[in-house]
Structure 1
Amino acid sequence: MEWFEEYYGDVALKIKIKKIIADFHSKYQHIQLFDTFEFGKMLVLDGKIQLTERDEAFYHEMLVHVPMFTHRNPEKVLIIGGGDGGSLREVLKHDVSEAVLVELDGEVVELSKKHLGIDNGAFEDPRATVLIEDGIEFVKNLGERFDVIIVDGTDPNPYSEHIMSREFYEACSKIADVFATQSQSPFVQPDYFKKMFDNISSVMDVRVYINFVPTYPLGLWSYLIHSDESPSLDDIEKRFADRGIRTEHYNPEVHAASFALPEWVKRIVKDR
């Protein structure tokens, strides 16, 4: 019986594999798709778990709905990364007029369409546009504004580090009302988290929120959000009810609670 192991320093997560669906190298990265016994299909890029069917909603819903409900009326949304379609699926649950997804590696999109299917038809939605381009170049050359920008990036690698740069965040700050990004694990990957926080906070005000994703490094995951508006729980509850969105994990109470940070995370942020 085969096992997949993802290492983070001196610890690892080990998952039993039922079947290897795909295993190849694209121009940019090593792409693997497995069928597992406990977690369903599992997408792995460069040896790092990107999602499993069982808990991908924990990640995608918090990445997407926190910024989407922070905005009072999001109509135009830009997603950088997210070639598996999970973030696009969640964005399209809102009454948006346009959702643009910019993904560097078209192989991820094609594999996800053919073998994964977590987008639930989002790739074919007439409101969606999928572009296979470099995200930073797209943002730098953009001549229009978006209500919300969501960055659904991979673990840092030579091709994704540019969307962790100050230059990228500065360009984003000029074209969106609300900006959100995943920001790695502050517990297992503190250097990456600190770098992202420093780069974003140098160009815009930013808040940290956290969530639990079981198959991510030791479970704890973080996100960063910029918005000029800080809606109350009552505001979020009203927007959630008015938009009639069905979720697996996210709700207004979880939204509010995700901004309550443990002391050690507060110290990291305060010391930056």
Structure 2
Amino acid sequence: MVWFFEYYDGCGLAIKVKKKLYEAEGVQKVEIYETESMGKMLVIDGKIQLTELDEPFYHEMLVHVPMLSHENPRKVAVIGGGDGGALREVLKHNVERAVLVDIDRNVIDLSRKFLKIDHGAFEDERVEIAIMDGKEFLRDCEIFDVIIVDSTDPVGVSDTLFDREFFELARQKCDVISLQSQSPLIQKEYFRTLLVNSAPFERRDVYLSCVPTYPLALWSFIIGGEYDFSNLEERFERIKGTTVHYNPDVHRAAFALPEWLKKEVEACI
């Protein structure tokens, strides 16, 4: 019996593994496993990035909440997200151009070969791939309708995607931004840092999803910019029937924060 363990701040998660499919060392250590009950699993620098079982709970909330807040998103940038899950969800909308920006080509190449959760998104003619740091991309890129930040934890190569300068650049380059903002339960410092550093987006809100293979399952996101959910039901018709997790009821419920989290947010915004 082989188990994969991920530890965080005095607790952790154990997942039974059938076999390791591949491992590569480069910009990051990238591992892909076949698990006993959760399908294939992507691990970067020892941290679980996704399993096939619950990745829609994450990717659909990261993508459809901002995409359906915009009247007509045509140009979208995904920063990070080399596994292709966020890109897959973006392409369910009537976009004209989608740019995937990831610093680590290994993540893209191995995900295309072994994970295949992109469902062909990497081959879509609307997609461009840029292998570079996300902040550097923002310095010279054009204006996007929506920017989606699908990053790893804010350490190592992802660190530049969490500082104030990143959000200052992003504010100049999009109408709406969404990003994953870690566990507000057990990664409070990361969560607070993102709330504070995203201040260039004066209007921003926190919303939640349950992702069982992420630290303590309760996962947070931030949306910022000129978002508007007044036509949510009508806009949902664009993607109705294509989602596993997301629907308008889940969308609205995601913004209902418990009292302890409201206090955390109010202290930082």
Q: Structure 2 length normalisation: TM-score?
A: 0.97
* Whole-angstrom distance in 1 between the partners of 2:88 and 2:22: 23
Helix, strand or coil at the partner of 1:257: helix
Q: Structure 1: which 5+ runs fail to align?
A: none
Letter in 2 for 1:73: N
Give the aligned CA root-mean-square deviation in angstroms: 1.0
Give me the whole-angstrom Cα distance separating, in 2, the residues matched to 1:74 and 1:258: 22
Show the counterpart of 2:59.
Answer: 60
Query: How do 1:78-117 and structure 2 match up within 5 A?
Result: 78-117=77-116
Per the alignment, residue 269 of structure 1 pairs with 265
Provide structure 2 residue ranges, at least 5 long, that are not aligned to the other structure.
none
Separation in structure 2 between the aligned mates of residue 105 and residue 204 of structure 1, nearest angstrom: 31
TM-score between the two structures when normalised by the length of structure 1: 0.96
What CA distance in whole angstroms lies between the structure 1 residues aligned with 2:163 and 2:171?
13
Matched, 1:237 2:233: yes
Amino acid at match of 1:10: G
Q: 1:215 aligns with which of 210, 213, 216?
A: 213
State the distance in 2 between where 1:21 and 1:229 align. 41
* CA distance in 2 between partners of 1:21 and 1:164 (Å): 31
Within 5 Å, give how 1:1-272 maps onto structure 2: 1-26=1-26, 28-142=27-141, 144-232=142-230, 235-244=231-240, 246-272=242-268
- Partner amino acid, structure 1, of 2:126: R
Check conservation: 1:40, 1:54, Cα contact below 8 A: yes
Contact 1:85 1:122 in 2 (8 A): yes
The separation in 2 between residues aligned to 1:82 and 1:242, in whole angstroms, is 23
Shift of 1:243: 4.4
d(CA) in 2 for partners of 1:229, 1:47? 35
CA shift digits 1:229-262 (9 cap, x unpaired): 3323xx1111112444510000011111101101
CA contact (8 A) 2:66 2:227 kept: no
- Counterpart secondary structure, 1:159: helix
| 2:78 alignment partner, SS class | strand
Distance in 2, matches of 1:90 and 1:245, equals 13
- Residue 202 of structure 1: CA displacement? 4.5
Shift of the 242–157 alpha-carbon distance from structure 1 to 2, 3 Å rule, reads closer
Shift of 1:22: 1.1
Aligned residue identity for 2:131: I
* CA-CA distance at 1:24 after TM superposition: 2.6
Residues 19-39 of structure 1 show CA distances to partners (whole Å, capped at 9, x for unaligned) of 10012311x211111000110
Are the counterparts in 2 of residues 70 and 227 from structure 1 also a CA contact under 8 Å? no
Give the conservation status (yes or no) of the 8 Å contact 2:201–2:224.
Answer: no
- Runs of at least 4 residues off by over 3 Å: 242-245
Count of residue correspondences: 268
- 1:106-130 Cα deviation digits (max 9, x unpaired): 0000000111100000000000111
